Chains A and B, each alone.
Chain A
């Protein structure tokens, strides 16, 4: 019997600590090379394109501030996904949780839930944050509950719920909350805006025009909290144990159903908070296109970061840069092309972590 391809994969026992980082970085670089070839094939000069990319995203403080603005929701969503993925819960419903969070945060202004003229700014923002997180958490509760109690596949549920959330938002922005028939709400009063660097331009002139808002602080705090949960807390240990071997976790007396729901809610709450930062910090209104698929990019971010909370920040910034650059070059799809190729390569590179590639020597092949 001939083996058609003289290559086989052998499971490795030992994965050196440095290897995951090397394969990830290598995958990103290879993605740029492949994208470059495609760019060259379309007649562009890839080096010029990449140089332009760089200038558009890191070329000035203004550009970098824009990159960070894009990175904020990615960080929050990426962290939520990283937590869920650690337990092998495939929450790809961050997009929906993001929209529900944005919706409930907007409700504070649009209903309005409090008197916007007399309530202090911090209280309005705190309430918006709270409701954003509750919205995301509740929207995460649905697949969590269905998975925990009825063993329904969370991938399908979270995916479908994304569409429900988008349509729910559309109902409000096209109908009840529509401003003059446009598919958006009115601009929020300044009281409901997250503070931005530009707000302090009077004191520090260098901040003038910078759109970076307080959401970045949420992102950093969330990263620290997720880090503590995963690597320091008992709960993180339980999550890791369940993710590694649910049967062992059950045997050890851990309530898997309860933790499934909890993790889904925390993951959703982070996505909901991302939705809140987007309406309150960036767009200042609820509209149809508040998300450029942040929810899905967040999934990619979590994977690229290998579920490490601090790596999530770095990867989010890189993705933010791609998003900003995509505004500047035509066709804007190039950014998504690079994103897609990167994810594909990073996921494939996992093979290198778990297997050694061996070539079958002719002698072995003809052992018979």
Chain B
């Protein structure tokens, strides 16, 4: 089989207890990752699970705060990607780094010290084609990059790495940009490279290709390696899907039963192009009601961003977008804002806030034109500061003052700032994209509670998320998107994590496996497809202690959490929620 089966082989890569922290985000938490020569090792996980971060630590882009990296048994410490290259590690990024107007060979030679002076391009052309042949890569070394297809450009990136003598290759979602035949060709190349003793790390979302090409698999979730599998052949797509999504604690979120009210948002045959002018939305029809959380599931890049932008007026589209009877398609964002649309954008820093403006400046972004902040032509900074001060307390935004610049806030506080701004305007419709991504558990719960509260108030909420647990626990209905289509819409009773996972990878609802294969809610003790999976799934720390003996399904309600976790124990449920959501102010004093 693979080299890894050899008893005394030295691992090509050994990463031990890697911990990498960004301000406010624990991207990798004591992750172990081992890879042998001749092995294709897949890294599976949702967006933000820490796959790319881990690999960037291996390529010297980030330096882990703790942990050890060994390459071929030798301990290393990389200060820059150059160090990693010197140790034979190369990475093919999702976005290519090629010079459009230069030839394949020229691109491969860029950055090398040889030749020092004078370039006998012909000689190097031959070298490049010889190298390409060796691995069965088809490429014309004299072609210029702009003449090449995306797949061919990717081959140039691979050759660039091979030319530098790399024997450890990292591919970051390499098939995301490829057409199916190109993807097949890439798979052959990868296998050929592995056969010649290269170690290949392969980051992917796509279950089928992981199964097709990988020898070994590591699953990352929320920055931790949750499972490592050696023999992939035993696994079905379903079990891989559940490995990736994981089973984890669904907090008891006090979601009250309520009937959705009248229709707030309706999309009719909406089509839109992405930034590359390729179709991103294809005939999307949706309908949202008062007091309903409508989840959108899907792997990143299947049209979710464009859907949000179309609704919020940031992207042109065809078709109709009705917000309470008014067509807001292709209207400027100011119009939909005035109609009661709140938008919690995916990119908090790039879109949601202005980094050098104060907290106040960011809070009044959408209401500088309303009294009392607006005072004829003037902006009433006293009133604005007062408003910001109130919201800062109410939403518990941690900042020295309302004059603090937004860029000094942590991710969680930035998100609170955005929520404070958006939710305090009593919206009719909230469009929230990835509202909890990158936040810590406390902040995540706060955000979710806020959304549920808005639901109770009768607001319609469109929730786009790649966190399936979030969707499952919050949504009344979930639509799954794949390549710009809505593959299917599931109602609250029919949520099934495996089915959703399959639909996310393009399986149509009618092609899903029969019901008994995938129990929705395994009762304790019952044999289920998940049991075996659960053996390998660890959860985050505070839950770990509460996990029943291996093999038991993990469903924990808030009451069962260790008491130390909950300083608000003894409060009524309602008080607890309010305290969590709105901060101290509400928990004390008035009866609300």
A-side residues, CB < 8 A to B, are 1, 3, 13-14, 232-238, 240-241, 244-245, 247-255, 367-368
Contact = CB atoms under 8 A, between A and B. Distances in A.
B86 interface: yes
Contact of B82 (A1, A367, A368): A1
Given A241-B361, A248-B365, A253 B351 contact: no
Given A241-B365, A367-B77, A251 B333 contact: yes
B68 to A, nearest CB: 13
Interface in B256-281: none
Contacts of A251: 312, 314, 333, 343, 345, 351-352
Interface in B321-345: 332-335, 337-338, 343, 345
Nearest to B374: A234
25 contacts: A13-B407, A233-B378, A234-B374, A234-B377, A237-B364, A237-B368, A238-B368, A240-B361, A241-B365, A244-B355, A244-B357, A245-B351, A245-B354, A245-B355, A247-B351, A248-B350, A248-B352, A248-B353, A248-B354, A248-B365, A251-B312, A251-B314, A251-B351, A254-B334, A368-B76
B425 to A, nearest CB: 12
A245 B365 CA distance: 12
Given A234-B379, A251-B343, A244 B368 contact: no
Contacts of B353: 245, 248
B314 A232 contact: no
Contacts of A13: 407-408
B79 A1 contact: yes
B79 A250 contact: no
A123 to B, nearest CB: 29
Contacts of A367: 77, 79
Contacts of A245: 350-351, 353-355
Contacts of B77: 367-368
A250 B309 CA distance: 11
Given A237-B361, A251-B345, A244 B378 contact: no
Which of the listed residues A244, A253, A367 has the most CB atoms from chain B within 10 Å of its own CB? A253
A128 B395 CA distance: 55
Which of the listed residues B83, B312, B357, B408 has the most CB atoms from chain A within 10 Å of its own CB? B357
A250 B314 contact: yes
A353 to B, nearest CB: 12
The 9 closest A-B pairs by CB, nearest first: A253-B334, A252-B365, A244-B354, A245-B354, A253-B333, A253-B337, A234-B379, A248-B354, A244-B356
A248 B357 CA distance: 11
Contacts of A248: 350-354, 365
A346 B502 CA distance: 59
Interface of B: 76-77, 79-80, 82-83, 86, 312, 314, 332-335, 337-338, 343, 345, 347, 350-357, 361, 364-366, 368-369, 374, 377-379, 381, 407-408
B70 to A, nearest CB: 14
Nearest to B79: A1
Given A1-B86, A234-B378, A368-B77, A247 B350 contact: yes
A250 B333 contact: yes
A251 B347 CA distance: 11
Contact of A253 (B80, B332, B364): B332
B298 to A, nearest CB: 22
A231 to B, nearest CB: 9
Contacts of A236: 379
B377 A252 contact: no
Contacts of B86: 1
Contacts of A237: 361, 364, 368, 379
Which of the listed residues A3, A244, A255 has the most CB atoms from chain B within 10 Å of its own CB? A244
B391 to A, nearest CB: 16
Contacts of A14: 408
Contact of B357 (A240, A253, A368): A240
A255 B82 contact: no
Contacts of A233: 377-379
B22 to A, nearest CB: 14
Nearest to B362: A248
A251 B369 CA distance: 15
Contacts of A247: 347, 350-351
Contacts of B335: 253
B178 to A, nearest CB: 29
A362 to B, nearest CB: 14
Contacts of B352: 248, 251
A13 B355 CA distance: 11
A237 B458 CA distance: 33
A16 B470 CA distance: 42
A184 B345 CA distance: 59
A3 B82 CA distance: 11
Given A250-B333, A251-B352, A241 B357 contact: yes
A100 B114 CA distance: 56
Contacts of B355: 244-245
Contact of B366 (A232, A235, A253, A255): A253
A20 B110 CA distance: 40
A2 B345 CA distance: 42
A27 to B, nearest CB: 22
Nearest to A241: B354
A233 B369 CA distance: 11
B65 to A, nearest CB: 14
A175 to B, nearest CB: 45
Nearest to B356: A244
Given A253-B332, A368-B79, 11 more contacts: A232-B378, A233-B379, A234-B377, A245-B350, A245-B351, A245-B354, A245-B355, A247-B350, A248-B351, A252-B365, A253-B337
A14 B364 CA distance: 23
A267 to B, nearest CB: 19
A4 to B, nearest CB: 12
Given A1-B83, A13-B408, A241-B365, A235 B377 contact: yes
Contacts of B364: 237
Contacts of B379: 232-234, 236-237
Contacts of B357: 240-241, 244
A102 B347 CA distance: 47
B238 to A, nearest CB: 39
A255 B408 contact: no
A241 B364 CA distance: 11
A244 B80 CA distance: 31
B445 to A, nearest CB: 26
Contacts of A240: 357, 361
Contacts of A244: 354-357
B147 to A, nearest CB: 27
A247 B345 CA distance: 11
Contacts of B345: 251
Contacts of A255: 332, 334
A252 B378 contact: no
A283 to B, nearest CB: 36
B83 to A, nearest CB: 5
A241 B365 CA distance: 8
B333 A252 contact: yes
A234 B369 contact: yes
A2 to B, nearest CB: 10
Nearest to A234: B379
A1 B365 contact: no
A224 to B, nearest CB: 14
A359 to B, nearest CB: 16
B53 to A, nearest CB: 20
Which of the listed residues B77, B312, B354, B366 has the most CB atoms from chain A within 10 Å of its own CB? B354
Contacts of A250: 314, 333
A1 B80 contact: yes
A250 B347 CA distance: 13
B113 to A, nearest CB: 14
A360 to B, nearest CB: 10
Contacts of B368: 234, 237-238
Contacts of A3: 79
Contacts of B381: 232
